[in-house]
Structure 1
Amino acid sequence: MTYLRLFWEFFKTGLFAVGGGMATVPFLKNIGLATGWYSQTDLMNMLAVSESTPGPIGINMATYVGFTVAGIPGAVIATIGEVTPSIIVILIVAAMLTKFRNSKYVENAFYGLRPASSGLIGAACAGVVLQVLLRVTSTAVPDSLFMRFSWDGTVSWMGLALAAVLLVLTNWVKLTKKWHPIVFIGLSAAVGVVFRFGGV
């Protein structure tokens, strides 16, 4: 049953998370709340690892969650669940591309999907900032469209400082703004290790 649940949850994520990898984060948050497989803190850690490894973030997250829940078979099944909707849609589109290439309905459908994907990505970014930097967690309110937010009274000052430094280095310092993103990922990981072991 765990394998079936993994496949189904990630099939839904792959089907509806339009707009790229970050658009999967709200779905993954909901999966964690519904199944108890991982906490919001675990999700942020998985997101950091998935962003730092090669490949699409949505697929990396599916593999990571599947492995955490059910080992290697779980990783394979969750990944298959994530990519199956895309494969089906691509096959359908390829078969009908000539017929629907100039269709107003298709054009309008994609036009309508743009704000949805923007909203999902924006929600994911806001959730990451709230959870990681401001320590604000959110939980679903039963039978409601709204979320319940709670704050433990602390702020990650080190995280805020690191985010500010990275923002300056990647945008306004001529020497560093052309550096490859992997350099900043490595430096951030090193800062996290040093400061955590240093007790700061």
Structure 2
Amino acid sequence: MLWDLLLAFLKIGFVSFGGGYAMIPVIEYEVQRHGWLTTPQFTDVIALAGMSPGPLATNAAVFVGYKTAGILGAIIAGVGISLPSFLIIILLSLYLARISQHPLLQSAFYGLRPMITGLICYAAIRFAVQNDIIGGAGGFDGAGVLIMLGALAVLMFTKIHPVFVILLSGVAGIVIYS
């Protein structure tokens, strides 16, 4: 179990680009492939990881490791997902200054940007479906969609701090769903 956790999160750390939200589908795939958590448990893990301080992917790995194998599992999963980035950054820092303007590297980054955006959108849609905000067993949660769209609009068109948007969304949820 611990070896599987380490290998899975090392693999995720080595192949995932674009930050925590872009890594959610990759983490979900590994969690489901190994049967470590149910879909509702994984959804809860992502919600907790997003609300906790620190990087989302690392937090998610630690939570998955803890739910799967306790404290040692949390440590192993956290090291597994963080070690590749650490090693890659050390190696890149030695050479990046020299090759940062190379046309092939620039082209690779231009190709990765839309893919990362797609992964983030995929994770958001999956999260909405799994929580019956759109599609799913419940069909369509109009109030949930309004909260989501309202939060999106406020974040896109105002300079209100995201923490206040989170708090207001929580208050809206209390008012609507209580």
For the aligned pair, the TM-score class normalised by the smaller chain equals 0.7 to 0.9
- CA positional deviation for 1:31: 1.5
**Contact in 1 for aligned 2:154/2:160 (Cα 8 Å):** no
RMSD value, Cα: 2.4
CA drift at 1:15? 1.4
Which residue of the partner structure matches residue 88 of structure 2?
89
Q: Which moved more, 1:55-64 or 1:90-99?
A: 90-99
Do residues 185 (structure 1) and 166 (structure 2) align? yes
In structure 2, what is the equivalent of residue 47 of structure 1? 46
Look up the equivalent residue of 2:165 and give its one-letter code. Answer: F
1:162 to 147, 152, 156: 147
In the TM superposition, what is the alpha-carbon distance from 1:116 to its structure 2 partner? 2.3
Query: Which is further off, 108-117 or 67-76?
Result: 108-117
> In structure 2, what residue type is equivalent to 1:182?
V
CA drift at 1:125: 1.7
TM-superposed CA distance for 1:160, in Å, is 2.4
Greater helix proportion: 2
Secondary structure at the aligned position of 2:140 is classed as coil
Same amino acid, percent of matched pairs: 31
Please give the TM-score of this superposition, normalised by the length of structure 2.
0.84
User: What does 1:46-195 align with in structure 2 at a 5 Å threshold?
Assistant: 46-132=45-131, 133-136=133-136, 152-167=137-152, 169-170=154-155, 177-189=158-170, 192=173
TM-score (ref. length: structure 1): 0.76
Q: Which has the larger radius of gyration?
A: 1
Distance 1:101 1:165 in 2: 39
CA deviations 1:32-68 (Å, max 9, x no partner) are 2201111222222211111111111111111111111
Distance 1:122 1:49, change over 3 A: same
Residue of structure 1 equivalent to 2:9: 10
Unpaired runs of 5+ residues, structure 2, are none
Residues 154 and 165, structure 2, Cα contact 8 Å, conserved in 1: no
Where does residue 146 of structure 1 map in the other structure? none
